[in-house]
Structure 1
Amino acid sequence: MAMKLSEYAKKLGVSYHTVWRLWKQGQLDAYQLPTGTVIVRDGEQNPQLVHEIACIYARVSSSENKDNLKRQADRLVQYSTARGYGIYKVVEEVGSGLNDNRQKLISVLNDKKFNVLVVEHKDRLTRFGANYIQVLLTQTGRRLEVVNDAANDKEDLMSDFAAVITSFCSRLYGLRRAKRKTEKLIAELQSNSEESCN
């Protein structure tokens, strides 16, 4: 199916500028009409010829970094295209790398329509437990590809550190309250038990 370059960018979930650059670098199967419109031959190739179908996952910790999120996704699209991967979809998410309930990531992990998950850094996927995700992907015939193994920026790490402290504090105080409730419940049960014996 052929489509305009702008439609192709929208389908991938990346900026028009990114796909324009890919076309100029000769990395897209596309042609230009005399009017100047660029047409991408998307899906016209035999799917059997594309061995690697990539799902791109980009993440930042806070909405203040949304510009960085878009740039991160654009870099991953360029990387995947340069590697010759077919791009299934681009997923962008705002949330802490410590949050183990990120809905978009869960959706990606449940999706079996790709065979390589491409992330820029391991901590873009998760701060802890990336190896567990790697094992999960391997069990389902997929794999994780990390573009850059270098550590990520300090600001994002500090944000996650603050989230860890907050989480532990709330759990600690919650556990104390839960312990008091349990002790109260046990006392009531013992009291009721003693009364029924008398």
Structure 2
Amino acid sequence: MNLKEWAASQGIAYVAARRQYAAGTLPVPTYRLGRLIMVGDPLAAAPTDTGQVVVYARVSSADQEADLDRQVARVTVWATGQRLSVSRVVTEVGSAVDGHRTKFLALLRDPTVSTIVVEHRDRFARFGAGCVEAALAAQGRRLLVVDPAGVDDDLVGDVTEILTSLCVRLYGRRAAADRVRRPVEAVTAAGGPV
């Protein structure tokens, strides 16, 4: 668990726990994972995994940067619960629509990375995620999605991807998501076919 969760479970203010960590006086072992302070001993990697396990977190714009730490915390807690030893954390601010994400592309190119863990499939790739997963699988690598739920209906997901792509061309990246979200919500709320 991370330091904030540990402090809450012990009835200690997070600020006090952070000060104890800085002074080296915490009564439990800690280690850093990216920008997070984790409490407890790092898990040893399973002997079958020879590559790195990397947590990838992304937000679309700079005004959402505060969500990066929360996203990393949720994914890291899930990964350690799955007995995965997280080697590193990669965070990025960039749109999944235009594909200009240098850290993401470097992660895909790195052959030492055997497992990429993301919170939602759209944090990894909006379009063509299945193709990228197949390419990773062909190399003996894998993508793990913490919350695969997203949109349950494949048809709704396909229509949303197509509408987003068309709206990006017409209105630009920023307005595209809103212009797609409204009609899809209206149709699904009405219970009509998509």
TM range (shorter): 0.5 to 0.7
**What amino acid does structure 2 have at the position aligned with 1:49?**
P
User: Identical aligned pairs, as a percentage?
Assistant: 31
Structure in which a larger fraction of residues adopt helix? 1
Shift of 1:81: 1.1
The equivalent position to 2:34 in structure 1, one of 1, 10, 13, is: 13
Matched, 1:138 2:137: yes
1:101 Cα deviation from its structure 2 partner: 2.2
In structure 1, the partner of 2:47 is 49
Counterpart CA distance in 2 for 1:99 and 1:93 is: 14
Give the secondary-structure state (helix, strand or coil) at the position aligned to 1:99.
Answer: coil
Q: How does 1:43-122 map to 2 (within 5 A)?
A: 49=47, 51=49, 53-122=52-121
Corresponding residue SS for 1:104: helix
- Residue 57 of structure 1, CA deviation: 0.6
Aligned length: 134
Shift of 1:114: 2.4
Instruction: Report the TM-score when normalising by structure 1.
Output: 0.58
Q: Secondary structure at the match of 1:56?
A: strand
Task: With a CA cutoff of 8 Å and minimum separation of 6, indicate the structure with the bigger relative contact order.
Answer: 1
- After superposition, the Cα gap between the structure-2 partners of 1:139 and 1:15, relative to the gap in structure 1 and judged at 3 Å, is same
Instruction: Supply the distance in 1 between the matched residues of 2:81 and 2:71 (Cα, whole angstroms).
Output: 15
- Runs of 5+ in structure 1 lacking a partner? 30-41, 153-157, 171-198
Shift of 1:100: 1.5
Q: Given the alignment, which residue of 167, 172, 184 partners 1:165? A: 167
C-alpha change, 1:50 and 1:105, in structure 2 (3 Å) is same
Letter of the 2:61 counterpart: S
What stretches of structure 2 of length at least 5 have no aligned partner?
1-23, 152-159, 173-194
- In the alignment, the residues of structure 2 paired with residue 133 and residue 79 of structure 1 have an alpha-carbon distance, to the nearest angstrom, of 22
Q: Deviations over 1:68-121 (max 9, x none)?
A: 111101111111111111212110011111121210100000112121111111
Select the structure of larger CA radius of gyration.
Answer: 1
* TM-score, with length taken from structure 2: 0.60
RMSD of equivalent CA atoms = 2.8
- After superposing on structure 2, the runs of 4+ consecutive aligned residues of structure 1 that deviate more than 2 Å are 47-53, 161-170
CA offsets per residue over residues 127-177 of structure 1, 9 Å max, x none?
A: 11101110111121101111101228xxxxx9xx7886343467xxxxxxx
